[in-house]
Structure 1
């Protein structure tokens, strides 16, 4: 059964929150979705400067951070 995972871009007090989330069969699947999303953001120019300390956190519906991906 798929769970819903959420993504959060953050750095030094700045946060961009994903409120919709994505259904995924596992945390590994959610991480793969996050990597695709990061690449789409990079290609479109929407991704904040990755050299500026941004990270993407994958969290559950309770807000518990399950995995953190550094974007730099």
Structure 2
């Protein structure tokens, strides 16, 4: 059964919260969605190519961080 996962993209001074989330069958599937989202941000010029200092956290509805992806 699919669960809702949320993303939090942050650097030293900036945080972007995902309030909608994504339905995924597992945290591994949510991670694949997160990686695709990161690539979209890079293509749109909203993230530096090297991602220095940026990270994306994947968390559940209660706010528990399940995975952290370093973008550098």
Give the TM-score taking structure 2 as reference length. 0.90
Kindly indicate whether residue 34 of structure 2 is the aligned counterpart of residue 57 of structure 1. no
Displacement of 1:17 = 0.3
More helix as a share of residues: 1
Name stretches of at least 5 consecutive residues in structure 2 with no aligned partner. none
Aligned length: 70
RMSD: 1.0
Alignment of 1:38-57 (within 5 A): 38-47=38-47, 49=48, 50-51=51-52, 53-57=53-57
Aligned-partner SS, 1:33 = helix
Q: Please identify runs of 4+ aligned residues in structure 1 that moved more than 6 A.
A: none
TM-score, length of structure 1 as denominator length:
0.90
